[in-house]
Amino acid sequence: MSHVFGFSDPIELFRHWLMDAEKSEPNDPNAMTVATVDGDGRPSARIVLLRGFDAEGFSFFTNYQSRKGADIAANPHGAICIHWKSIRRQIRAHGRIIKLDDKASDEYFYARHPESQLGAWASQQSQVLDSRETMEKRMEELRIQYQGREIPRPKHWGGYKLIAADIEFWHERPHRLHDRELFVRDGHGWRANRLYP
């Protein structure tokens, strides 16, 4: 079949669309929604930043003890959605979410600003916080504790990757007659189909 957007490899198509978005999106062209489901089947979605992608899928980093971390531990299936309003494009993917290995988590953590590194220690993400002052006090204590020293990566913080089973590309067209192409993983390659809008 002829491909809707001219690419047989969805990862290469994603790379091109992301480069287009980086030229036109004013803030965070790598922002994406990550949707998870807890052990009781209740869904939850939030915006995170895409921090890497490859032939397997899409990576992000967070506190493992956050709500999304608890959801993934209970049910490792999830979805992502990226919408670039300025170029009228959207990408969705579904699949299994796995933890990245320590090496990948360390590499990203040590590339972060030291304040962000301290923040990974200071924030008990998704837990109740009595006041902002409590968190700011914790940050100041951590600055003193690690002054002049390397800040270690917390064991409760690291990366995940959504291993894409399918990736859908959507491009807005007039009168809601949009272009859509769905790539489904098929062995070591991909099977593609145009979808009705």
Q: State pTM to two decimals.
A: 0.93
What pLDDT score does 124 carry?
A: 85
Residue 67 has pLDDT above 80, yes or no: yes
Distance CA 72, CA 36 (A): 7
Transcribe 173-192 into DSSP letters.
-GGG--EEEEEEEETTEEEE
What pLDDT score does 182 carry?
A: 98
> Which pair of tokens denotes residue 172?
């807005």
- Domains (ranges, CATH) in the chain? 10-113+156-195 (2.30.110.10)
What pLDDT score does 26 carry?
A: 85
The number of C-alpha atoms within 13 Å of 196 and in the hemisphere containing its C-beta is 0
**Mean per-residue pLDDT of the chain:** 95
Residue 51: band (very low, low, confident or very high) from pLDDT cuts 50, 70, 90: very high
Distance CA 197, CA 186 (A): 23
> Which pair of tokens denotes residue 102?
């320590």
| Interval 80-132: pLDDT, tens | 999 999 999 999 999 999 999 999 999 999 999 999 999 999 988 888 889 99
Tell me how far apart the 2 most distant CA atoms of the chain are, in Å: 61
| Interval 132-161: pLDDT, tens | 999 999 999 999 999 999 999 999 999 999
Residue 18 has pLDDT above 90, yes or no: yes
Pairing state between β 31-37 and 43-49: antiparallel
What pLDDT score does 1 carry?
A: 62
Q: What percent of the chain has pLDDT over 90?
A: 94
Residue 52 has pLDDT above 70, yes or no: yes
